[in-house]
């Protein structure tokens, strides 16, 4: 199936990016959100993407503006769905909200429409019972700053038809993404399944005093040829989200090394050193030591 008309449901951080990226590649896009106020916010968010597109991929202002014409906004789900070949759901990361959205969507979407969820942590199997077309449903997961970090992770349930995966793969390529297709469901997809244990291992080495952050990064960069180490990566992610995830983990695990690591993370967060956004994390910004040409010596 060839996709032409796309509905993006939810015009928040990611929905606005997905909608604009699709419009930029000449798809006809309708951004659906729940209220006039949220549509006004979404519109502002979309139009506010210009400086980043300009800075990061050198998109000219005329070009940016011309492609806004491919994008319309709506609070009427039924009307928005009338001609949709594909709907990409980017509404809040709460299972109950997503399930009730799919109940509603199933009632108004034409038979041909493929449903795709941008969920970061929910697998499609957790939502599929609320979808009237399991063969045409899968996750299609983008990374924040879609124009730059352009992977699209595609993950179906056992019921997803191979044609749906093929269509989503083709669509992802058509909007400038590199499709990453998973053969089966995996919470966290590929990236977070690799990144999270890696970051935890590095944090534990720091918290238990085995080595300081710059030494950990140096070893990783020199030994593997990577361009950045785990502690610098942690500064970009920021300590807050992993700290909250860690608190959940500690509720069910009695693990002294994790407890100590969390304690050390909390001290840094409380001291206003939770990462690049704070101006300080494991390094000082805007000129962190790891960018120094002599760092690897």
| Positions in the binding site for ligand NAD (CB under 6 A) | 9-15, 32-34, 38, 42, 90-93, 97, 101, 118-120, 141-142, 144
Find residue 142's DSSP bridge partners: 152
CB of 206 to ligand NAD, least distance (A): 25
CB of 146 to ligand NAD, least distance (A): 9
Helix (H, G, I), strand (E, B) or coil at 20: helix
* 235 backbone φψ class: left, alpha, beta (φ>0; ψ -120 to 50): alpha
Nearer to ligand NAD, 142 or 283 (CB): 142
**Dihedral (CA of 53, 58, 62, 68) sign:** negative
Helix (H, G, I), strand (E, B) or coil at 55: helix
Cβ 49 vs Cβ 17: under 8 Å: yes
CB of 210 to ligand NAD, least distance (A): 31
CA 163 to chain centre: 24
Nearer to ligand NAD, 144 or 208 (CB): 144
- Least Cα distance to 158 among 185, 182, 189, 130 occurs for 185
Nearer to ligand NAD, 102 or 283 (CB): 102
Cα separation of 35 and 96, whole Å? 19
CB of 211 to ligand NAD, least distance (A): 30
Q: What is the CA radius of gyration of the chain?
A: 21
Cα separation of 3 and 246, whole Å? 40
- Least Cα distance to 52 among 17, 5, 6 occurs for 17
Q: What angle do CA 135, 138, 141 make, to 5 degrees?
A: 165
CB of 296 to ligand NAD, least distance (A): 31
CB of 96 to ligand NAD, least distance (A): 11
Nearer to ligand NAD, 144 or 263 (CB): 144
Nearer to ligand NAD, 146 or 216 (CB): 146
Nearer to ligand NAD, 34 or 211 (CB): 34
Nearer to ligand NAD, 156 or 213 (CB): 156
DSSP 121: S
Position of minimal CB gap to ligand NAD:
12
CB of 143 to ligand NAD, least distance (A): 6
């Amino acid at each position: 199936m060839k996709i032409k008309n796309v509905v993006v449901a939810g015009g928040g951080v990611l929905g606005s990016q997905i909608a604009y990226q699709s419009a930029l590649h000449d798809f006809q896009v309708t951004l659906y959100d729940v209220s006039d106020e949220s549509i006004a916010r979404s519109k502002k968010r979309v139009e506010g993407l210009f400086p980043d597109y300009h800075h990061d991929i050198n998109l000219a202002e005329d070009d940016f503006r011309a492609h806004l014409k491919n994008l319309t906004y709506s609070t009427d789900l039924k009307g928005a769905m009338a001609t949709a070949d594909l709907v990409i759901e980017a509404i809040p990361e709460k299972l109950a909200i997503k399930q009730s959205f799919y109940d509603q969507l199933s009632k108004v979407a034409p038979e041909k429409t493929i449903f795709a969820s941008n969920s970061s942590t929910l697998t499609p199997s957790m939502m599929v019972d609320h979808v009237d077309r399991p063969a045409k449903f899968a996750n299609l997961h983008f990374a924040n700053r879609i124009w730059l970090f352009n992977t699209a992770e595609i993950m179906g349930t056992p019921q997803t038809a191979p044609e749906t995966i093929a269509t989503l793969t083709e669509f992802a390529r058509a909007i400038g993404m590199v499709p990453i297709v998973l053969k089966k469901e995996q919470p966290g997809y590929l990236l977070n399944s690799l990144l999270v244990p890696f970051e935890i291992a590095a944090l534990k080495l720091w918290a238990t005093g085995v080595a300081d952050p710059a030494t950990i990064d140096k070893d990783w960069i020199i030994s593997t040829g990577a361009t950045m180490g785990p502690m610098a990566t942690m500064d970009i992610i920021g300590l807050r989200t992993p700290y909250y995830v860690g608190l959940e983990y500690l509720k069910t695990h009695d693990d002294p090394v994790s407890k100590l690591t969390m304690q050390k993370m909390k001290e840094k967060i409380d001291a206003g050193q939770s990462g690049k956004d704070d101006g300080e994390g494991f390094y000082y910004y805007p000129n962190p030591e790891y960018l120094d040409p002599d760092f690897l010596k």
